[in-house]
Structure 1
Amino acid sequence: MVRRIVVAKLYGLGYEVEEAEDGQEVLEILEEGEIPDLLITDSNMPRVNGLQLVRRLRESEDAALSLLPIIMLTARQSERDIIQGLETGLDDYVIKPFSPDELAARVQTVLWRSGKRRDSE
């Protein structure tokens, strides 16, 4: 349900969106050379969870992967969880339940900071 909301909001703003079931599928997509401008992940996923995914990407020797902007969208809201996520290398941390408009603003901000913001914005 949450993924559908995110996809609908981002499509509505003109973004191309590719979905993955879990962190392992994300890694497989990235290994094929399909590197997005931004990654939105959850912390609770099977096989490879969100923090494991972020660690692997940040440790990558491929600069495109190690610098990939990442937003965590998760129900985990303790101060410890947020700090751990940010220390792992997240660019932003959004707690569920969330406002789709706020998420859109955070996506635009992270893209802007990374130099990947679209010219039409």
Structure 2
Amino acid sequence: ANGEEALALLARMRFDLVLTDCHMPRMDGYVLTRTIRQGAVAGISDIPVVALSAGVLEEQIQRCRESGMDDFLPKPVLLAPLGEMIARYVDTSPLDSGT
């Protein structure tokens, strides 16, 4: 629902990727990303962060980069580009069962 809740979850659980809306209440995606990059939660400062926003102007995308986000997806988010984005940052190969 907001960046503060995202930080709390990141402190309790392991995630491979953060998808964040740029415009959330209380703590937006820009502040969330800067907070992550500054090491507010131990061990995740390098976690991939992907912005979600309806604003697709170059200035908006540049602001995402400046805040430390790794990539950008325009809203509405379509499944195929979302899947490609996840595959770019997360190893989605099946786990090796050793057999």
TM-score (norm 1): 0.71
The aligned amino acid for 1:58 is R
Q: Is the 8 A contact 1:51 1:85 kept in 2?
A: yes
Match of 2:94 in 1: 120
Please state whether the residue corresponding to 1:72 is helix, strand or coil. strand
Is the aligned partner of 1:107 residue 2:86? yes
* Structure 1 alignment gaps of length 5 or more: 1-20, 112-116
Larger mean CA deviation between 59-68 and 86-95 belongs to 59-68
* Deviation >3 Å, runs of 4+: none
CA RMSD, Structure 1 to Structure 2 (Å):
1.8
Match of 1:6 in 2: none
Give a deviation string over 1:84-115, Cα, whole Å, max 9, x none. 1012211110111232111111111122xxxx
Give a deviation string over 1:42-61, Cα, whole Å, max 9, x none. 01111110000000001116
The aligned amino acid for 2:94 is S
Match of 2:71 in 1: 92
Q: Is the 8 A contact 2:31 2:67 kept in 1?
A: no
TM-score (norm 2): 0.85
Q: Is the 8 A contact 2:11 2:41 kept in 1?
A: no
Match of 1:23 in 2: 3
Match of 1:46 in 2: 25
Cα displacement (A) at 1:75? 0.8
The aligned amino acid for 2:25 is P
* Structure 2 alignment gaps of length 5 or more: none
Match of 2:50 in 1: 71
Please state whether the residue corresponding to 1:66 is helix, strand or coil. coil
Please state whether the residue corresponding to 2:50 is helix, strand or coil. strand
> Larger RCO: Structure 1 or Structure 2 (Cα < 8 Å, ≥ 6 residues apart)?
2
Over alpha carbons, which structure has the higher Rg? 2
